[in-house]
Amino acid sequence: VNGTGGTDHGTASCILLAGGAIRGGRVHGQWPGLARLRDDRDLIAAQDTRAVLKGVLRDHLGLDLDPLAEQVFPDSRQVGPLAGLIG
């Protein structure tokens, strides 16, 4: 049971990217530690998932950022793509 009486997932998680196009052998992001938790119970998210996915969709599939910010991830223009994942 979580902090709000439910059994769902927490606030933050991890992403594992695999495949031939991925620049492997690296870890992106920062470990926020456990001293400061969100709502005194959840790990603080250090990277926006949309940034990771925007980076992959732009750099691997060649998609433009405008449709990604407006249609794929609505109202996410303030979240830029994470570069350097595809190589």
Residue 28 has pLDDT above 90, yes or no: no
Q: Where are the domains of the chain?
A: 1-87
pLDDT tens for 31-56 read 889 999 988 888 888 899 999 999 99
Q: pTM for the complete prediction?
A: 0.80
Whether the CB-CB separation of 85 and 52 falls below 8 Å is answered with: yes
Name the burial class of residue 68, with classes exposed (0-12), middle (13-18) and buried (19+) by CB atoms within 10 angstroms of its CB.
buried
Residue 63 pLDDT class (50, 70, 90 cuts): very high
- 87 vs 23: CA distance, rounded Å: 5
Percent of the chain clearing pLDDT 70 (strictly above): 92
CA atoms lying within 13 Å on the CB side of residue 39: 9
Residue 14 has pLDDT above 80, yes or no: yes
Average pLDDT over residues 6-10: 69
